[in-house]
A = this chain, B = another copy of it.
Amino acid sequence: MKLYTYFRSSAAYRVRIALNLKGLAYEAIPVHLLRDGGQQLAPAYRAVNPSALIPALEDDGAIVHQSLAIMEYLDELHPAVPLLPVGALARARVRALALTVACDTHPITNLRVLKYLKGPMGLSEEVKAQWYKHWLGEGMAMLEAHLANEPQTGRFCHGDAPTMADCCLAPQVFNAQRFELDLAPYPTIMRIHANCMALPAFAAAHPSQQPDAE
């Protein structure tokens, strides 16, 4: 398998964790989101993924895009070390936690949105930073509200083994730390994050450990 990745992309980071948890070897193909005006926007990468977004997984010649779809795909084909628990309600809870990050936190604060605020909208670096912290804070507060109050939360987002939800949580915390968001209001997220990062699968997927790290 080949993974089109960028060391700091949190969507790519999710998939790297999932691959590592399952013990699946892959070749990393770095796509630099800032170099050459954004290598993901070039025709060569659009031929791989017409959405021009990272990550994409190439498996036996076929391309799968969207990090959550990639994780579901890996889970269906390689069910050992499952990323979803048993039972429809439990699976729904894990998917909903993952989507809280992937739909309602990350897309509003990702690179292409931040670039649009500064470029076409002409807003200042300060306003851009306010935007980032506002929406990241909203998303983290939603996730904390679920994790802190739902009895299914354990050492990880759902019970005592990592799931797809943890694969989304850890990269989002990395982003929050990088942009110096105050993380004190999110003790449950941070407790789970510490448990995640103690696992080699998460640690090896961290941006600093990637071949294209800067």
A184 at the binding interface (Cβ < 8 Å): no
Q: Is the CB of B107 within 8 A of A103?
A: yes
Copies of this polypeptide in the complex:
2
- Chain B residue nearest in CB terms to A143: B51
Q: Which of B51, B95, B107, B131 contacts A68 (CB 8 A)?
A: B95
A92: B residues at CB distance < 8 A: 64, 69-70, 72-73
**A172, chain B: closest CB distance, angstroms:** 13
Question: How many of A's residues come within 8 Å of B, CB to CB?
Answer: 45
What residues of chain A have their CB less than 8 Å away from a CB belonging to chain B?
A: 46, 50-53, 62, 64-66, 68-70, 72-73, 76-77, 88-89, 91-93, 95-96, 99-100, 102-104, 106-108, 112-113, 116, 120-121, 127, 131, 134-135, 138, 142, 145-146, 149
- Chain B residue nearest in CB terms to A142: B51
Q: Is the CB of A50 within 8 A of B102?
A: no
- Chain B residue nearest in CB terms to A76: B88
Would you mind naming 23 contact pairs between A and B with Cβ atoms under 8 Å apart? A46-B145, A50-B145, A50-B149, A52-B142, A64-B92, A64-B93, A64-B96, A65-B96, A66-B95, A66-B99, A68-B99, A69-B92, A69-B96, A69-B99, A70-B92, A72-B92, A77-B88, A103-B106, A103-B107, A107-B107, A113-B135, A116-B134, A121-B127
Q: Is the CB of A104 within 8 A of B134?
A: no
Q: Is the CB of A146 within 8 A of B51?
A: yes
17 extra A-B contacts, CB within 8 A, seeds A53-B104, A76-B91: A50-B149, A51-B100, A51-B145, A64-B89, A64-B93, A65-B96, A68-B95, A69-B92, A72-B92, A73-B88, A73-B92, A102-B103, A103-B103, A107-B108, A112-B138, A120-B134, A121-B131
Q: Is the interface of A mostly helix, strand, loop or mixed?
A: helix
A88: B residues at CB distance < 8 A: 73, 76-77
- Chain B residue nearest in CB terms to A146: B50
Q: Which of B50, B64, B138 contacts A142 (CB 8 A)?
A: B50
**A3, chain B: closest CB distance, angstroms:** 14
